[in-house]
Structure 1
Amino acid sequence: MNYVKDMPTAATDTGAAIPPLLHYWRIFIQRRWIILAIVSSTLIAAIIYTLLSTKLYTATTRIEVAREEAKVTNVQSVQADVSNDDLEFYQTQYSLLEARSLAERVARELKLARNKEFIKNENIRLSGIDFFSDVDPAELTRAQQEELEAKIVKALRNRLSISPIRQSSLIDISYTSNDPELAALIANTWAKQFIASNLDRRFASTADARQFLQTRIDELRELLERSERSLVGYSADKEIIALTSEEGNDGRTRTLKTLASANLEALNNALAEATAARVEAESAAKQSGINTATLTNLALNGMREKRAQVASDYARVLVQFEPDYPGAKALKSQIDALDRSIAAEERRILSSSNTTYRQALQRENDLRVRVNKLKAALIDQQRSGIQLNIIQRDVDTYRQLYDGLLQRYKEIGVAGVGQNNISVIDRAKVPDKPSRPSMPINLALGLLAGLLLSGGVIFALEQIDDSIQDPSDVSRKLGLPLLGTVPAQDEDTLRDDIRDPKTDISEAVLSLQTNLSFLTDHGVPRSFMLTSSRASEGKSTTSLALAISLVRIGRKVLLVDADMRSPSVNELLELANDHGLSNFLAGADDWRALIQPTDITGLSALTAGPIPPASAALLATQRFNGLIAEASGAYDHIVIDAPPVMGMADAPLLSQKCEGVIFVIESGGVRVRGLQNAIGRLNSVNAKLFGAVVTKLDVRKQGLLYGYGYGYGYGYGADRWEEDDRD
């Protein structure tokens, strides 16, 4: 591609891509009538649907489902224990509320299979039967009745809505029908039957539990009796007699004292006492002479006191008399008699101590033998007690199970199934206004559908329409620098707008001229042509406007209409076209005589002249080269309005005879493929493409009040748009 390289920033920036948000806004503004039409259609359809649809009424019953665990025994439950996860429990309740079996209960309770009005409203049909006629549902065959009931259940479930209340155990049961009274009746009946079905399940579970408990109680009673008989028989066989026992916290029976252990304890105490008595008797027997026993004998002490008294009397008598004195002899005899009595008593006491010792020793030995025998017997009992404890544990286990099951059996018998964990909080009332169709909701849905549909349509159109809509598409899709943009103009005021320096088109062309001044080292090219892919893309208008813009800065400009097949410069400048370029190329010698002055000072025009039979052949001659060379000496700039590229050879030929080419593109006109083909034809002859100009740009359609050139703002044009908006 022979594009102009190293263009200054001012020129190349004009094609910078706009932000995505503004891009979508441009598409919205551009396609706003399509969007409005589609959205309006969907809204109208929503309104019609709302007005024509059958009014439906929704009644709601609110119930509470309390969490509980139904235990039948302390060992196991009739129903599986509820998980700690509340979500699992309540999800089960929601599924039960929507169960087919519950819908069947409601249908039977309300006798809906015989309600012709309900069948008619639900549009239920059976093969070969029209319920709008006088056919009695009771006259149906069994197969038809089953089919009817199935369809009624399906209709009920389709109209039902279960809505749990977040962070609570409350559930709303809603039913929708075209009959408000029937809606309330079914909602309340649904809650009632849900409670009844819950009680039925409990009753069935309890009946099964009672049967299970009765069987287990009978089995445990037999096992308990058998184990108790084994316990008694084993105790008797091993002669293990329990005197005291206690039941621990774990329900186990523990034997505290048996007969053998009690006897051993008593014998041990007696042995201890006998040992103490034997030790005391042995100590007394080992003492010689007067021992403690003699000192403590009352008779012996009396005789000793009497002897002491008689001895005192005898001593007093001896003071006065001789020993031979009869009184003294009598006292002496009395003393001797007392001495003999005392000695005899002491001998008797000593003999008694030895006897006591021997008796104590014998008793101790007897008790020790008995204790040893009883210890051996107790050890044997303790060995036997291991098996006894095993049997006792079986007895305790069976007794605990038996007592627990018996207690639970009694509780079930007393309490029954009277308790229920489901209760009605608010009964459904007959609704006084329809719930559907809802005009606001349907309008919102219609709006949403319209937006989605219009979005899809616009997306499809954008994919199909690959014309240059956005100036930034020039560089992105065609690879050409964007030199500027020219706004769309009113045909009635076009001639005046081009001549007015304050109009939008004049400001836009000034931006184009500024960008052209950066293309060469001598500023705006001396000779250049404007062409397009096809006719009516605005190249002639742009050529004239650019020529006028150059004149405004004091340049002398020649505007050449080289589109000899469809000339238009003469019409724009209101000039005659009876002679012109075709005359010169056909052989006229003086091109200056063919130049026509215009009402714009500094601007001259060479019109196309009469339409030749072969314009391409004329342009291929060297006379056009000579024209450009000679005119370049008389004018500062030569602006050539060239024919379109596609379908003709004129434009490629002309591109070789000037400095470069400005490619004109109509906004939203030719598809990208056509533009690429046109640019390809120019590139095939090594034409120097300066860049592209986007014409007929609808600023309002683009959705932006940016300056023309997509980077340069023009106050006059923007002000005009703002004034129009305010008006």
Structure 2
Amino acid sequence: MNVLTSNLGAGVSMAVPPADQTASSANQLPPIRQYLRMAFRRRYVILGAIAAMFLLGIVGTLLMTPKYTATATIEIARESSQVTNFQGVERETGLADQEFYQTQYGLLRSRSLSERVAAQLRLIDDPSFYALFRIDRKDSAFQLVNGRYPAAGRDVRQRVAGEILRGNLSVAPARLSRLVEVRFTSPDPAFSAKVANAWAESYIQINLERKIQATSYGRNLLRRQLAQQKEQLDESQRQLVAYASRERIINLPGQRGADGSTSERSIVADDLGTLNSALAQATAERIAAEARYRETGAGASTEALRNPAINTLRQRRAELRAEYQRLMTQFEPSYPAAQAVQSQIDQLDRSISTEERRATGSLEADYRSAVERERVLQVRVEQLKGSYLDLRRRSIQYNIFQQEVDTNRALYEGLLQRFKEIGVAGGVGVNNIAVVDQADVPQRPSSPRLLINLALSLIAGTVIGVGLAFALERMDEAIADPTEVEQRLGLPLLGSVPKVEGETPKDALLDRKSDLVDAYLAIQTNLAFTTEHGVPRSFAVTSTRPAEGKSTTALALATTLARGQRKVILVDGDMRSPSVHHLGGVDHARGLSNFLAGEDQIETLTFDMADLGFTAMSAGPIPPNAAELLTGNRLSTLIERLLESYDHVVIDSPPVMGLADAPLIASRVEGVVYAVESHGIRSTLVKTALGRLVSANARIFGGVLTKFEARRAHYGYGYEYGYGYGRDKAAQAKQSRA
């Protein structure tokens, strides 16, 4: 047996990982695996929902009224949608295409079009039309009087008829084309075709009428705008002329520009330009005269040198001077002929001086005249500058009025041009919508479709089933399989125990090849790794509530330890509902309560369980309050004394919830083995019980999942592999009978 235990221990050395590590590994499972496991666990719910929806789909399909769909195909063109040829009425094609076609689809589904079709086909007052669609209203508009509907409720019936037609109509544009299918569905195939064709024709008529209305409306609107703009133009022109007359602003027409427009120029500006040119010329003449005048002071002036009279006198004087010099070579200056020549030379000098003075005076006069003319022109130019600046100041308001006149004239001319272009003939006769295919009477019903309905039923059933499974999984707090002990409770898993059916736990323990024995041997092996000295010498087995398998766990662990050649005593610590004495075939007249009450003879309080190989102590007489007996030190004394004679002390503890016994017992032993019933208790309740034990400073070695059924687990058959490994079931059954 020791060899067997050691081999089991070597095989599962990592069977008890830390709680946080185990929970983390469980949470790290791929989501698809978690969903598949959930679906496998709730497979009957999912299959039931699918089957129910499948049957509902079959029944619904058989009970549905056959309906027929007629289809008319129309073409909606984009190019002919402009009212006129000038720009600005509607945006260019391109980005506006999608908006345009979406608008057309909306018009095809419009209320006015549906009511127009109803009126055109005379459906508003037709009782068979409402009977065809099973419309049974009790208001006065649908009350027959002499087999007819009253005229007073026609508006109500028209609205209802339009709603019926719109509810059974669908518009399906063909992708990447200008074709649109108009489909109408009803129980009558001929009626469906008639409505689809009437719908297409009415849509074309409405489109033409809308163009005519748009053209007429545009003409009337432009006519009113033209009249208003003409009044504004006349008023602005009168205002401009009045202001020009009042401010004496006179402008002359200028040259015509490249764009055909003419600009105006003022008289003051023209005068200023002319005088400014004259002033520049006068300044130039004054500078020239001044230069000639200044030359007279520096010697013979240029004017004197160019004077013919002075040049003649100087030539005559030069001749006389030559004559005088010749005479001087022969005679004295007093010689009469020489004196006569000298007298002529002096007379010529006086004449030359007189002529030079006359030329110099003429230059001075010309200079002064040029200066005066320049001054006069300068004064006039300055006066015109002031007048021009004053004109500019007064022309600010004039220009404002002029701009208003130009703006009003441009607006008026633009409106006039549009008014000339727009016309009734511009839109009428050019329709951008045409019927491509008329709707034929359908030969086969479009609905119901059995295969499609069944497929939808299967999809709906799958969705509903998965939703129900997911909801049930979220609401299910029971511990379904061993990994949830670690994942939900944070407890190290010591092992799982299969549910025993058809025999008592004691009988299953007596069969050393039973699945129960194998399970508890694995638990004992894992328990050996919880302390440094192997299996704890003293430990308690408890659970959250009664009937979870804690007593069976305590009994099985005591049995497996005893078969490992160890002295074991099983103490029934549940003094409220004792059970160990039943297994030994004795009563509980003497037991644990006697020792806790003060009796010291332990040997008289125990009994042997020879078939299982260990000693047991019953709970003893049931005390009035078991918790009071456990509060003292007597339990610790009992455990110490028992450990002197036994290798292990196993205490079958009461359940935790509602009692103080389990925390008191747990605080006196090395630790606690916690039993959790599979599919039998909510995880939140177990967490609360574990919290009570932790508050009592109890050490919890791990959890044991009891009454485990692999077929009900989230992970399917995986957990039942091992318990029956390598066994011949027939031989096992034969050995059990023997």
TM-score, L = length of structure 2: 0.61
Q: 1:603 is matched with which residue?
A: 614
The residue type paired with residue 650 of structure 1 is D
Q: 2:672 is matched with which residue?
A: 661
Q: 2:495 is matched with which residue?
A: 484
- Deviation sequence 1:564-599 (CA, Å, 0-9, x none): 33233455x463335552575364835267322232
- Asked whether 1:560 is paired with 2:571, we answer yes
Q: 1:194 is matched with which residue?
A: 203
The residue type paired with residue 434 of structure 2 is S
- 1:661: how far off? 1.2
1:214–1:12 Cα change, 3 Å: closer
Structure-2 separation of matches of 1:576 and 1:85: 98
- Asked whether 1:63 is paired with 2:74, we answer yes
1:613–1:209 Cα change, 3 Å: closer
Structure-2 separation of matches of 1:679 and 1:407: 92
Query: Which of 171, 175, 179 pairs up with 2:180?
Result: 171
- Asked whether 1:575 is paired with 2:580, we answer no
Asked whether the 8 Å contact 2:141–2:157 carries over to 1, the reply is no
- Deviation sequence 1:7-37 (CA, Å, 0-9, x none): 9854125743422444444444444444445
Structure-1 separation of matches of 2:190 and 2:505: 73
Asked whether the 8 Å contact 1:126–1:148 carries over to 2, the reply is no
The residue type paired with residue 159 of structure 2 is A
1:162-311 to 2 correspondences below 5 Å: 162-204=171-213
Q: 2:163 is matched with which residue?
A: 154
Asked whether the 8 Å contact 1:79–1:205 carries over to 2, the reply is no
Q: Secondary structure of the equivalent of 1:187? A: helix
The residue type paired with residue 117 of structure 2 is V
Asked whether the 8 Å contact 1:707–1:717 carries over to 2, the reply is no
- 1:420: how far off? 3.5
Q: 1:639 is matched with which residue?
A: 650
- 1:65: how far off? 1.9
The residue type paired with residue 195 of structure 1 is I
1:456–1:213 Cα change, 3 Å: closer
Asked whether the 8 Å contact 1:706–1:718 carries over to 2, the reply is no
Q: Secondary structure of the equivalent of 1:691? A: strand
- Deviation sequence 1:29-86 (CA, Å, 0-9, x none): 4444444455555555444444444443322222222332355654458776555542
Q: Secondary structure of the equivalent of 1:715? A: coil
1:403–1:516 Cα change, 3 Å: closer
1:313-328 to 2 correspondences below 5 Å: none
- 1:97: how far off? 0.9
Structure-1 separation of matches of 2:56 and 2:131: 27
Q: Secondary structure of the equivalent of 1:149? A: helix
The residue type paired with residue 57 of structure 1 is Y
Query: Which of 510, 513, 536 pairs up with 2:547?
Result: 536
- Asked whether 1:98 is paired with 2:103, we answer no
Structure-1 separation of matches of 2:714 and 2:682: 21
- Asked whether 1:589 is paired with 2:609, we answer no
Q: CA RMSD in A?
A: 4.5
- 1:716: how far off? 3.6
Structure-1 separation of matches of 2:46 and 2:13: 41
- 1:702: how far off? 2.4
1:72–1:617 Cα change, 3 Å: closer
1:448–1:499 Cα change, 3 Å: farther
- Asked whether 1:715 is paired with 2:725, we answer no
| Length, aligned pairs only | 528
- 1:703: how far off? 2.5
Asked whether the 8 Å contact 1:619–1:650 carries over to 2, the reply is yes
Structure-2 separation of matches of 1:647 and 1:92: 72
Asked whether the 8 Å contact 1:516–1:524 carries over to 2, the reply is yes
- Deviation sequence 1:120-156 (CA, Å, 0-9, x none): 334163632545775403x422xx1112111111221
The residue type paired with residue 176 of structure 2 is Q
Query: Which of 129, 136, 139 pairs up with 1:127?
Result: 139
- 1:450: how far off? 4.7
Query: Which of 116, 125, 135 pairs up with 1:114?
Result: 125
1:427–1:488 Cα change, 3 Å: farther
Q: Structure 2: give runs of 5+ residues left out of the alignment.
A: 1-11, 226-258, 261-414, 731-738
1:707–1:547 Cα change, 3 Å: farther
Percent of counterpart pairs with the same letter?
Answer: 43
The residue type paired with residue 700 of structure 2 is L
- 1:663: how far off? 1.8
- 1:459: how far off? 5.3
Q: Secondary structure of the equivalent of 1:148? A: helix
Q: 2:522 is matched with which residue?
A: 511
1:623–1:171 Cα change, 3 Å: same
Q: 2:148 is matched with which residue?
A: 136
Q: 2:16 is matched with which residue?
A: 11
Q: Secondary structure of the equivalent of 2:193? A: helix
Asked whether the 8 Å contact 2:215–2:422 carries over to 1, the reply is no
- 1:443: how far off? 4.5
Structure-1 separation of matches of 2:95 and 2:636: 97
Structure-2 separation of matches of 1:80 and 1:672: 68
Q: Secondary structure of the equivalent of 1:114? A: coil
Query: Which of 510, 523, 526 pairs up with 2:537?
Result: 526
Structure-2 separation of matches of 1:596 and 1:57: 88
1:24–1:546 Cα change, 3 Å: farther
Q: Structure 1: give runs of 5+ residues left out of the alignment.
A: 1-6, 217-249, 252-400
Structure-1 separation of matches of 2:159 and 2:66: 25
- 1:173: how far off? 1.0
- 1:715: how far off? 2.7
